[in-house]
Amino acid sequence: MISGEKLTKVFKGTIIHSIHIHQVELLQNHYIGVSDSGVILFLSDDDKTVQEHLDSHQFQRSDIVDLGRKFIIPGYIDTHAHAPQYHNAGTGTDLPLLKWLEKYTFPVESKFRDLEFAEHVYSKVVDRMLRNGTTTCCYYATIHLDASKLLADIVSRRGQRGFIGKVCMDRHSPDHYIETTDESISNTKEFIRVILEANNPLVQPIITPRFAPSCTNTLMTALGDLAKQHNKVLIQSHLSENLDEIQWVKSLYPDIPTYTHVYHHFGLLNERTIMAHAIHLSEDELKLLKQTQSSISHCPVSNFTLTSGNMDIRKVIQHDIKLALGTDISGGFSPSILQVMRDSIKCSNSCSFVDSAHKALSYEEAFYLATVGGSKVVNMEHKLGNLLPGKEFDAQIIDPFAPNSPFDVFAGDSLKDIFQKYIFLGDDRNISQLYVKGTKINFN
Ligand SMILES: O=c1[nH]c(=O)c2nc[nH]c2[nH]1
Ligand SMILES: [Zn+2]
């Protein structure tokens, strides 16, 4: 038992979570107990053990919540999303990356100098993410210090867990959306200071060079130094998403062997680094990511939409690189990690069309990546990812029988069938309740 914790919630029923990549546990008739500070105190189907927990906390049996036909799963972890781009989600899907950035993305991001506009869009995106079961999100904001602080504030107020990045870009960007090197460095320092001082354990800063082409060497060096100085702060960027982008990086750094080595050169690859996309990597680059313990955020919805390419997920798994999923709003049009899971399976299926040795990703593996995989990528596997005792209760209560559920359950369906139907067909209508660190989220 974890001492000093007061038991405040006990649910009884079906709990579904991952322990290993190949194994989803479907636990029926289990009890899960959560403390006042949001820590899971027990997960058991053993009556005697459960009774001991209840007795030691003077918890009344009548206060146990029976889940009935609902089930509990962990909250989803979105390891790559651009909060300001939510404004454009579902539009501007006709161009590849570099043209898309210029025509749609930089113009909308530049509007976040207006705090009223920022408040409106940021409130919507955080609510939408929560509605879709995302309890933890790695957000890119924009270059604007005040609007980035506002995003952190909104994430904090809504009770979501978030890593918030003030975006850094001091070159190759339009006049209306660029910062000087000094502004980028000093505002990043200030942003980190303010967020750390706010002392909300759920909301953390993340160092965010947009991508190598948009940061000068001086800025990259300074961000590498900052990452060294703040040795708990995560780092996020983009890597090897699009062939023109890779060529561009090659032309900027002819003496550095690969795109991945560029980040390494500036001290930006370590166990706290999350690289989005990483589709077109060579063997040397995969090895470098593994060697530096950096991780990959796989964003297949975006990769399909911006016609960037297919990541070979088996290769990444075989290299034992930390791996999770990202919506990449709005390169990806959907805020739902369920949609990303489905597209990660489709992406892997399509790899198997051209490579018969490629074993397609299963839905169990996709679910693992959305939960446990995410927890490893944000270096919080000791606290998040599944519902084992000692972890924090970030969880969704899923109702497969919700009156407006987008799928049907038939008499012969097993629990496994129902879970699989939810993964392939479910959506926010199936979320009955959402918890972050034991606190129930009120949907707006
Ligand atoms: O998908 C992407 N979205 C972005 O906003 C971006 N910026 C650099 N590279 C990027 N890729
Ligand atoms: Zn992105």
> Would 2 be classed as within a structural domain?
no
Question: Any idea which ligand is nearest the CA of 211?
Answer: 1
**C-alpha of residue 363 to centroid of ligand 2, in Å:** 24
Whether 246 has a pLDDT exceeding 60, the answer reads yes
Q: Domain check: are 402 and 255 in the same one?
A: no
- In this prediction, residue 263 carries a pLDDT of 99
User: Which of the four pLDDT bands, split at 50, 70 and 90, describes residue 92?
Assistant: very high
Q: Which amino acid is at 135?
A: T
Q: Which atom of ligand 1 is nearest to the CA of 308?
A: 1
- In this prediction, residue 444 carries a pLDDT of 73
Q: Domain check: are 176 and 65 in the same one?
A: no
Q: Among the three residues 332, 355, 378, which one is the final residue of a domain in this structure?
A: 378
138, 238, 262, 311: residue to mutate for ligand 1 pocket, most atoms within 8 A of CB: 238
**pLDDT tens by residue, 221-241:** 999 999 999 999 999 999 999
Q: Domain check: are 289 and 347 in the same one?
A: yes
**pLDDT tens by residue, 392-415:** 999 999 999 999 999 999 999 999
**pLDDT tens by residue, 267-323:** 999 999 999 999 999 999 999 999 999 999 999 999 999 999 999 999 999 999 999
Neighbours of ion ligand 2 (CB under 5 A): 276, 328
Q: Domain check: are 263 and 305 in the same one?
A: yes
> Would 374 be classed as within a structural domain?
yes
User: What is the mean pLDDT of the segment spanning 95-99?
Assistant: 98
Q: Which atom of ligand 1 is nearest to the CA of 331?
A: 1
> Would 152 be classed as within a structural domain?
yes
- In this prediction, residue 3 carries a pLDDT of 61
Predicted complex ipTM exceeds 0.95: yes
User: What is the mean pLDDT of the segment spanning 52-72?
Assistant: 97
78, 79, 82, 108: residue to mutate for ligand 1 pocket, most atoms within 8 A of CB: 82
Task: Provide the residue range defining the domain that includes 125.
Answer: 76-378
Whether 6 has a pLDDT exceeding 90, the answer reads yes
Q: Domain check: are 35 and 144 in the same one?
A: no
Ligand 1, atom 2: closest residue by C-alpha: 331
Q: Which atom of ligand 1 is nearest to the CA of 306?
A: 1
Q: Among the three residues 361, 378, 395, which one is the final residue of a domain in this structure?
A: 378
The mean pLDDT value of the chain amounts to 97
Identify the CATH number of the domain in which residue 411 sits. 2.30.40.10
Q: Domain check: are 36 and 183 in the same one?
A: no
Ligand 1, atom 7: closest residue by C-alpha: 210
User: What is the mean pLDDT of the segment spanning 96-120?
Assistant: 98
Q: Is the pTM of this model over 0.95?
A: yes
> Would 309 be classed as within a structural domain?
yes
**Structural domains in the chain (count):** 2
Is there an atom of ligand 1 within 6 Å of 210 CB?
yes
Is there an atom of ligand 1 within 6 Å of 185 CB?
no
> Would 1 be classed as within a structural domain?
no
Is there an atom of ligand 1 within 6 Å of 211 CB?
yes
User: Which of the four pLDDT bands, split at 50, 70 and 90, describes residue 443?
Assistant: confident
Question: Any idea which ligand is nearest the CA of 210?
Answer: 1
**pLDDT tens by residue, 36-54:** 999 999 999 999 999 999 9
**pLDDT tens by residue, 169-178:** 999 999 999 9
Q: Domain check: are 114 and 44 in the same one?
A: no
Q: Domain check: are 296 and 360 in the same one?
A: yes
Identify the CATH number of the domain in which residue 148 sits. 3.20.20.140
Q: Among the three residues 349, 378, 407, which one is the final residue of a domain in this structure?
A: 378
Q: Domain check: are 137 and 255 in the same one?
A: yes
